[in-house]
């Protein structure tokens, strides 16, 4: 299949490029490299360095495409609070441009990177796809707006679509060019931050008085390789005029202290931490109900937190 991967120079998109080209798909990439890295792009894929904000660059990237996997976008919660207009422009406006150019080009299949941030403060744990969506920040609001836009697009223009609501993505992929791993700047994700910490720069634990067993927040982590496997299954499952939404996580939660303990084990030594105040808007527990992905996509995560930490550590060395 000829697949356009938007955001293919980024962490998750780059991993998708590597795995899907390895399976024999013909891959093109559209990325403006605002947070991505051109050095992760294999030489044998077509790369359009362009923006979702420029319809002619999207049209160019779509040439000959059968399907789109849409990772490109802005994804920092804190930045979205400071710069909501940027998030609406790129995530919502940029995806509007992409859907319009897909329609003009007759491309009718899309898999979209949505987020658990669409749910906001959960009323039930684990969180099913039918849970109330009430995002607590502009990032989550833009992801929800795109999910809704895609639902309309599938009804009105026959798009075959899936939105995959990721919980926390972690881990790395080793390939012939080295490790493909998280290189966000600033890095807001727990596992790379733990691995970059030191006695002088201890890991900040935001809140140690949450109503959880050890007092720290609980999150659900999924390995990036398992995540891409779900994208491939979602792509294969697409049906005309249908938009399906699936949660992707492990279905298990790990507290911040449990993730630190897993990292200590991988490192073979202790890791300095410092208890800091809770961050406003942080829910105590976020765990995905992944039953729909298990049955609807015949997907199951296969790599646990130890593999996520070990692969990230290996990618840093």
Ligand X SMILES: NC(=O)c1ccc[n+]([C@@H]2O[C@H](COP(=O)([O-])OP(=O)(O)OC[C@H]3O[C@@H](n4cnc5c(N)ncnc54)[C@H](O)[C@@H]3O)[C@@H](O)[C@H]2O)c1
Binding to ligand X (CB under 6 A) within 43-72 occurs at: 51-53, 71-72
Distance CA 154, CA 35 (A): 30
Which of 3, 13, 244, 286: binder of ligand X (CB under 6 A)? 13
From residue 262 to residue 291, the character string flagging contacts with ligand X as x (rule: CB under 6 A) and all else as - is ------------------------------
Residue 52 burial (CB < 10 Å; 0-12/13-18/19+)? Answer: buried
Closer CB to ligand X, residue 215 or residue 281? 281
Which of 28, 65, 95, 115: binder of ligand X (CB under 6 A)? 115
Which of 3, 7, 61, 92: binder of ligand X (CB under 6 A)? 7
Closer CB to ligand X, residue 168 or residue 216? 168
Distance CA 59, CA 100 (A): 10
Closer CB to ligand X, residue 93 or residue 128? 93
With beta carbons less than 8 A apart as the criterion, state whether 168 and 222 touch.
yes
Which of 47, 87, 119, 166: binder of ligand X (CB under 6 A)? 166
Range 185-221 burial, b when 16+ CB lie within 10 A, else e: eeeeebbbbbbebeeeeebebebbebebeebbbbbbb
Of the candidates 189, 188, 199, 198, the one whose C-alpha atom is nearest the C-alpha of residue 224 is 189
From residue 167 to residue 196, the character string flagging contacts with ligand X as x (rule: CB under 6 A) and all else as - is -xx--------------x------------
Contact call for residue 315 and ligand X (CB under 6 A): no
Binding to ligand X (CB under 6 A) within 69-108 occurs at: 71-75, 90, 94
Closer CB to ligand X, residue 53 or residue 272? 53
Binding to ligand X (CB under 6 A) within 232-261 occurs at: none
From residue 144 to residue 163, the character string flagging contacts with ligand X as x (rule: CB under 6 A) and all else as - is --------------------
Residue 270 burial (CB < 10 Å; 0-12/13-18/19+)? Answer: exposed
Point out the residues that are catalytic.
139
Chain contacts with ligand X (rule: CB under 6 A): 7, 9-13, 30-36, 51-53, 71-75, 90, 94, 113, 115, 166, 168-169, 184
């Amino acid at each position: 299949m000829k697949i356009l991967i938007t955001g293919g120079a980024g962490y998750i998109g780059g991993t998708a490029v590597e795995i899907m080209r390895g399976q024999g798909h013909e891959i093109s990439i559209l990325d403006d490299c605002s947070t991505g890295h051109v050095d992760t792009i294999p030489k044998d894929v077509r790369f359009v360095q362009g923006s979702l904000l420029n319809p002619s660059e999207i049209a160019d990237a779509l040439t000959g495409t059968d399907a789109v996997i849409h990772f490109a976008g802005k994804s920092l919660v804190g930045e979205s609070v400071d710069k909501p207009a940027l998030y609406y422009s790129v995530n919502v406006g940029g995806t509007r441009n992409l859907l319009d150019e897909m329609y003009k080009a007759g491309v009718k299949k899309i898999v979209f990177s949505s987020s658990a941030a669409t749910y906001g403060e959960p009323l039930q744990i684990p969180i099913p796809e039918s849970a109330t969506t009430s995002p607590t920040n502009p990032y989550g609001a833009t992801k929800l707006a795109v999910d809704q836009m895609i639902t309309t697009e599938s009804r009105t223009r026959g798009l075959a679509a899936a939105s995959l609501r990721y919980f926390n993505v972690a881990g790395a992929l080793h390939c012939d060019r080295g490790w493909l791993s998280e290189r966000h700047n600033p890095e807001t994700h727990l596992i790379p931050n733990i691995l970059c910490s030191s006695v002088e720069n201890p890991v900040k634990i935001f809140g140690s008085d949450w109503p959880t067993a050890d007092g720290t927040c609980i999150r659900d982590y999924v390995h990036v390789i398992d995540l891409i496997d779900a994208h491939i299954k979602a792509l294969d499952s697409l049906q005309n005029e249908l938009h399906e939404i699936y949660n992707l996580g492990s279905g298990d939660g790990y507290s911040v202290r449990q993730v630190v303990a897993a990292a200590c084990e991988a490192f073979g030594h202790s890791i300095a931490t410092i208890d800091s105040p809770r961050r406003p808007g942080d829910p105590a527990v976020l765990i995905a109900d992944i039953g729909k992905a298990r049955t609807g996509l015949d997907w199951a995560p296969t790599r646990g937190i130890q593999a996520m930490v070990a692969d990230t550590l290996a990618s840093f060395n």
